[in-house]
Each structure stands twice: as C-alpha cells, then as structure tokens.
Amino acid sequence: MNFIADESLDFPIIAALRGSGYTVYSIMEKSPGTDDETVLKIASDQAAPLITKDKDFGELIYRLRKITSGVVLIRLDGLAKEQQIPIVLSAINDHAKELSGAFTVITSNSIRIRKLI
C-alpha cells in the first residue's frame, strides 16, 4: 500500500512504515514547504492516503469539501516517538484495507475510521 506523509509526520514513523513494506512518499523529502491543499492534491492524484499530525486537514476535508483518497490523522501527543511507532504500525497493519477513502484518527487508546465516500 502507498501513503503520502505530510511534513508534520516524524521521520522515524516514515522509516518504520517503509521497513514494514509500505511505500511512503515523504513531502519532507520531496517538496518541503508545500501548502496543505497541494499536499492533499498530491495524495489524491496518487490515490494514496495521507498520513499527518496536522488537524488542519480535517477542516479542508469536512468544511471545504476537498477531495481526498483518505487521511490518517495521528494524535499521539505526549508519547515519545519510540512509543508512537508501534501504535501507528499496528493501526495501519490492522486496518490497511479500510484507510482508503476514510478519515482515520489514531490515538493511544482508539482508532476511529469514518468513510468519506
């Protein structure tokens, strides 16, 4: 499965996803400074869910009705990066088939998946 990683996503999570066999296009590596609407368009054009820690994508999708292939919002503030990696990997591995076309929120104690289509 392919993903687009927003600049807000910590590189250790990107590396862990790649190490688990996922293809991750990193905005931080390829085109830093890209605005959120363009990032969302890149994800949509590549038919890949966007992984981010930036809550602004919720506004773009729900209030402004921007098209998306899916968003995975990681809300693990307060946890060390090393603690975040297994939570993110587990959520993505367990729910990979459900992430396309959905707005998913990963927290330390829950995963909420809301289909957009």
pLDDT of residue 47: 94
| Stretch 52-70: mean pLDDT | 88
Domain assignment of residue 40, given as a range: 2-115
Q: Does residue 116 register a pLDDT over 90? A: no
Instruction: List pLDDT tens digits, range 70-98.
Output: 999 999 989 998 999 999 999 999 999 99
Q: Give the CATH number of the domain where residue 59 resides.
A: 3.40.50
Cα separations (Å) of 28 from 64, 95, 96, 111, 113?
A: 25, 25, 23, 25, 26
Mean per-residue pLDDT over the chain, rounded = 94
pLDDT of residue 62: 85
Give the whole-angstrom CA distance, residue 109 versus residue 116.
Answer: 23
Give the whole-angstrom CA distance, residue 34 versus residue 42.
Answer: 10
pLDDT of residue 52: 96
Q: Does residue 117 register a pLDDT over 80? A: no
For residue 64, the SS3 value is: coil
Give the whole-angstrom CA distance, residue 12 versus residue 35.
Answer: 22
pLDDT of residue 58: 87
How many domains are there within the chain?
Answer: 1
pTM of the model: 0.93
pLDDT bin (cut points 50, 70, 90) of residue 67 is confident
Backbone angles phi, psi at 94, to 5 degrees: -75, -25
